[in-house]
Amino acid sequence: MVEVCNGMLIRARWPLQAAGQCFRRSAVVQWGLALLIVLASGFPVSVLAAHGFALHGDLKYPADFKQFEYVNPQAPQGGTLTLANPDRRTSFDKFNPFTLKGTSAPGLTALMFESLLISSADETASAYGLLAEDVSVAPDELSVTFRIRPEARFVNGDPVLASDVKHSYDMLMSKAASPGYRSMCMDVKAVTVLGERTVRFEFKQRNTELPLIVGSLPVFSKKWTAKVPFDKLTFEEPITSGPYIIERYDAGRGITFKRNPNYWGRDLAVRRGTFNFARVVYRLYKDETAKLEAFKAGEFDAIVEYRSKNWAKSYVGPHFRDGELIKTDFPHRNGAGMQGFVMNMRKPIFQDVRVRQALILALDFEWLNRQLFYGAYKRLDSWFSNSELAASTTFDGRPGPGEMKLLEPLRAELPAEVFGPDVIQPTTNPPRSLRDNLREARRLLAQAGWTYEDGALRNAKGEPLVFEFLDDGGAMSRVITTYVRNLERLGIEVHQRTTDFALYQKRLEDFDFDMVSIRFPDSQSPGNELRDRFSAEAAAMPGSDNLFGLKSPAVDKLVDAVLHAHTREELITAGRALDRVLMHGYYIVPNWYSASHRVAYRKVMSYPTRLPYYYTAEGWILSSWWRKDLTPKTQ
């Protein structure tokens, strides 16, 4: 599944609601970054608290806590929050965000769907009861049991029951839903209804993040899918338990959500100070330029900017000078993740690692950062950049004893370079230059059988090296054009194909592309999402994260090592070993990252004085902001 965040199409599948979630085209994607940020994998369970679950250490918040520290419990309630389309969708044709076909309306999962647990945005691996009032893990860690709150209600007044939880799970695991759910829950053996409000998830093997995974799954009423097959649902309004309901919509223009006056969870500690607006309106704009001009004209309340040039040049004018509009950089502690140009190894031209290395050499990051990005970014050098799981964070860049213990049994399956220094990204800083890098790229291409002849790079059969760069016309288009120009200097013919978002999404789900620009979000503690991204099984599963077509038994084994780590130290070691192998595979042309969110907003908007640690800007605005022209709440 794909979605836009930080100016890139994002791949993700996770469905945990949190204060800082990134909006996605489906719930698998929409809730993805939040869970990726807060989950950890491979820790022995040391906390079995009834009101929440922590993978390591203690829960920060006790059973009687009043609210999360990064919200304002006195925030005034009411008014309207108006937002623009959070990605490049310009229309929608369904209210079911869990299936591949079609485009769902923005805001659905964040505003309408709830889960058994909800994460804390100032902890890396803790979640607290939302629909569930109690969570307990079996001593053998092969099952987790949830007891649902008796007051939990769907919008139609029906109680949320254990049978609804099981039904939701069954629908998400069916072939009608996005395959990402099946991939993430592949270690779940069974779901058993123990009583009206008690449900147990049983696991095939010990995997300590599974309680968080299943606790984060969206829950909806059986009645929603009673008359129409799950994958045929279009504009049948979801029967959910969340704080908002759909008030009206126009599939080509936007949608309005109204706060449910009978929302059951308004007084919960995990909900206090959140979702403060009486209405949330999404307006859909046809392109980014129209959206920015509409914001400057006062048509909506806040915008998150991912283009450094726009941030530097376009957020100016009389409304910024008089203070009506404000622009602010908000720091965060999110892992950098990986964004870049994915090479689809299902295509023969990308199956030679030397070709992939050459294509990486053709990207001039320093020029881009200087000329296009105003020096705003750092180069990605890892799948876990900006975290201690990055192989590049070792003392000398070489695998340590712990990594060697994991890598040595796989030596026959790995290139010898994996056992040496980590991969250093090419640079054009003096004394190096782009010409030097292109010369090295041409040498690698020649070794792979591609030589320059008759104005093009050709193989022994005389066939030119040609591929298509699929683009949906977003923020990366100017970067892609610059990159393509460098490739053409090597004699490579690149067809830059721009298409609409819906077709772009479909082609990615079917792996029908050569090269594409994507961002993969990171986690503070990665886990089961790695299977959907790198496993051989996922490579054959349409709609999965494995866009590369990667089928490596060694990678599969290292992913398992991450998932089954017993301590934080083991997780770091396994993560570095996996990162080292992935980087030496050269499956992606790494791009760049930033450690802050750029947000512009109307002065009438306000936000808590304390920022969360792990969050996305869109989700934080939606869940924690308020209008300052309203009367504050009183205790």
Tell me the pLDDT tens digit for each residue of 232-248: 999 999 999 999 999 99
Q: Give the tokens for residue 247.
A: 């008030």
Measure the CA–CA gap between 188 and 202, rounded to whole angstroms. Answer: 6
Give the residue extent of every domain in the chain.
2-329+595-627, 338-593
Q: What is the pLDDT of residue 580?
A: 97
Q: What is the pLDDT of residue 374?
A: 87
- Out of 3.10.129.10, 3.10.105.10, 3.40.50.300, 3.40.50.11930, the CATH code matching 338-593 is 3.10.105.10
Q: Between 633 and 347, where is the model more confident? A: 347
CA atoms within 13 A on the CB side of 407: 24
| Architecture field, domain 2-329+595-627 | 3-Layer(aba) Sandwich (3.40)
pLDDT tens digits, one per residue of 74-122: 999 999 999 999 988 899 999 999 998 899 999 999 999 999 999 999 9
Q: What angle do CA 300, 305, 311 make, to 5 degrees?
A: 110
Query: Is the per-residue pLDDT at 554 higher than 60?
Result: yes
Measure the CA–CA gap between 24 and 13, rounded to whole angstroms. Answer: 9
Taking residues 279-294, report their average pLDDT: 95
Q: What is the 3-state secondary structure (H, E, C) of 166-226?
A: HHHHHHHHCCCCCHHHHHHCCCEEEEEEEECCEEEEEECCCCCCHHHHHHCCEECCHHHHC
pLDDT tens digits, one per residue of 473-491: 766 888 999 999 999 999 9
Q: Give the tokens for residue 371.
A: 């000329």
Query: Is the per-residue pLDDT at 330 higher than 80?
Result: yes
Q: How confident is the model at residue 634 (pLDDT cuts 50, 70, 90)?
A: low
Name the pairing type of β-strands 143-148 and 198-203.
antiparallel
pLDDT tens digits, one per residue of 261-280: 999 999 999 999 999 999 99
pLDDT tens digits, one per residue of 405-430: 999 999 999 999 999 999 999 999 99
pLDDT tens digits, one per residue of 453-462: 988 999 999 9
| DSSP code of residue 298 | T
Query: Is the per-residue pLDDT at 188 higher than 50?
Result: yes
- Residues 250-287 as b or e (16 or more Cβ within 10 Å = b): eeeebbbbbbbeebbbeebbbbbbbbbbbebbbbbbee
Query: Is the per-residue pLDDT at 8 higher than 80?
Result: no
Q: Between 417 and 374, where is the model more confident? A: 417
Q: Which single residue is written with the structure tokens 């990615």?
A: 508
Q: How confident is the model at residue 56 (pLDDT cuts 50, 70, 90)?
A: low
Q: What is the pLDDT of residue 528?
A: 81
| DSSP code of residue 163 | H
Query: Is the per-residue pLDDT at 589 higher than 80?
Result: yes
What is the CB neighbour count within 10 angstroms for residue 603? Answer: 13
Q: DSSP letters of 547-591? A: TT----HHHHHHHHHHHT--SHHHHHHHHHHHHHHHHHHT-EEE-
Q: What is the pLDDT of residue 336?
A: 81
What is the CB neighbour count within 10 angstroms for residue 214? Answer: 24
Non-local CB neighbours of 379 within 8 Å, separated by 6+ positions: 365, 369, 425, 590, 591, 592
Q: What are phi and psi of 202, to 5 degrees?
A: -105, 145
Query: Is the per-residue pLDDT at 47 higher than 60?
Result: no
From 33-37, 143-147, 248-252, the region with the lowest mean pLDDT: 33-37
Gyration radius from the chain CA atoms = 24
From the list 615, 540, 552, the residue with the least C-alpha distance to 585 is 552
Per DSSP, the three-state class of 282 is: strand
Q: What is the pLDDT of residue 6?
A: 36
Taking residues 36-49, report their average pLDDT: 37
- Would you say 193 and 167 are in contact if contact means Cβ atoms under 8 Å apart? no
Q: Is 435 exposed, middle or buried (0-12, 13-18, 19+ CB in 10 A)?
A: exposed
Q: Which single residue is written with the structure tokens 């889960």?
A: 115
Query: What are the CB-based long-range contacts (under 8 Å, 24+) for 566-572?
Result: 566/42, 566/43, 566/44, 567/42, 567/43, 567/44, 568/43, 568/56, 569/402, 570/42, 570/402, 571/40, 571/41, 571/42, 571/43, 571/389, 571/525, 572/388, 572/389
Q: What percent of the chain has pLDDT over 90?
A: 72
pLDDT tens digits, one per residue of 138-182: 999 899 999 999 999 999 999 999 999 999 999 999 999 988 899
- Would you say 60 and 122 are in contact if contact means Cβ atoms under 8 Å apart? yes
Q: What is the pLDDT of residue 189?
A: 97
From 204-208, 266-270, 285-289, the region with the lowest mean pLDDT: 204-208
Average pLDDT of the chain, as a whole number: 89
Element (H, E) at 319: helix 318-321
Query: Is the per-residue pLDDT at 2 higher than 90?
Result: no
Q: What is the pLDDT of residue 7?
A: 37
Give the predicted TM-score (pTM) of the model.
0.75
Measure the CA–CA gap between 394 and 399, rounded to whole angstroms. Answer: 7
Element (H, E) at 437: helix 434-447
What is the CB neighbour count within 10 angstroms for residue 379? Answer: 17
Measure the CA–CA gap between 57 and 495, rounded to whole angstroms. Answer: 52
